[in-house]
Chains A and B, each alone.
Chain A
Amino acid sequence: EAEVAQSPRYKITEKSQAVAFWCDPISGHATLYWYRQILGQGPELLVQFQDESVVDDSQLPKDRFSAERLKGVDSTLKIQPAELGDSAMYLCASSRNRGGTEAFFGQGTRLTVV
């Protein structure tokens, strides 16, 4: 069964360091999402891609976060410099198209900033 792959599963980093997360969506899925989930809360969208283009990054803290999906397939989310408040689960999801009714999620990357 096709899955959304994310790595690493867990990451511990010191504040002010750079950190990067990788996501490989289900093959053929044009839409890719990065969500952040703070402990005890629901996920919130950081950025949405349609193929290689950013559709929505209104909630992405652009002073420290960046995201790319250069060939319209896999994607990287970067934080530089990391802050204590960035500790969270980072979830990647994909759907077949922008109006797809079902988004499939990866297992997430749990980030701890110390």
Chain B
Amino acid sequence: AQKITQTQPGMFVQEKEAVTLDCTYDTSDPSYGLFWYKQPSSGEMIFLIYQGSYDQQNATEGRYSLNFQKARKSANLVISASQLGDSAMYFCAMSRNQGGKLIFGQGTELSVKP
């Protein structure tokens, strides 16, 4: 069975600094996808970044990068130059075969301080 673990219930970061949100996963499938979503207080889930299990390079999208360490089964999200608008819940998720239904972690609440 697939499982996602996010061990940080809450994180604080100073504005303009970088922050790393941890995510570890467990799966026996050779092909899978890893995702990060942001959920503001308004409720919608906003897609941030995707990493396929066969991708050789770490994914990057603007200020977001995914630190993919396959042997350690970790997929940490790095947010550079934090902004006040980054304050939200962040969810790590995975899917089989790089698509399809998502298995989510418990989430990490990020608070950015001015």
Contact = CB atoms under 8 A, between A and B. Distances in A.
26 contacts: A31-B100, A33-B102, A42-B104, A43-B45, A43-B102, A45-B101, A45-B102, A89-B43, A91-B43, A97-B99, A98-B100, A99-B98, A99-B99, A99-B100, A101-B33, A101-B98, A102-B47, A103-B47, A104-B47, A105-B37, A105-B44, A105-B45, A105-B47, A107-B43, A107-B44, A108-B43
Contacts of A91: 43, 45
7 nearest A-B residue pairs (beta carbon): A42-B104, A99-B99, A105-B45, A108-B43, A107-B44, A45-B101, A100-B99
B25 interface: no
A25 interface: no
Contacts of A110: 43
Interface in A82-105: 89, 91, 93, 95, 97-105
A14 interface: no
B97 A99 contact: yes
Interface string A60-100: 00000000000000000000000000000101010101111
Contact of B101 (A42, A48, A102, A105): A48
Contacts of B37: 105
B42 interface: yes
B99 A43 contact: no
Interface residues of A, number: 28
Contacts of A98: 99-100
Interface residues of B, number: 24
B74 to A, nearest CB: 17
B68 interface: no
B91 A42 contact: yes
Contacts of A107: 42-44
Interface in B56-102: 91, 93, 97-102
Nearest to A89: B43
A31 B46 CA distance: 18
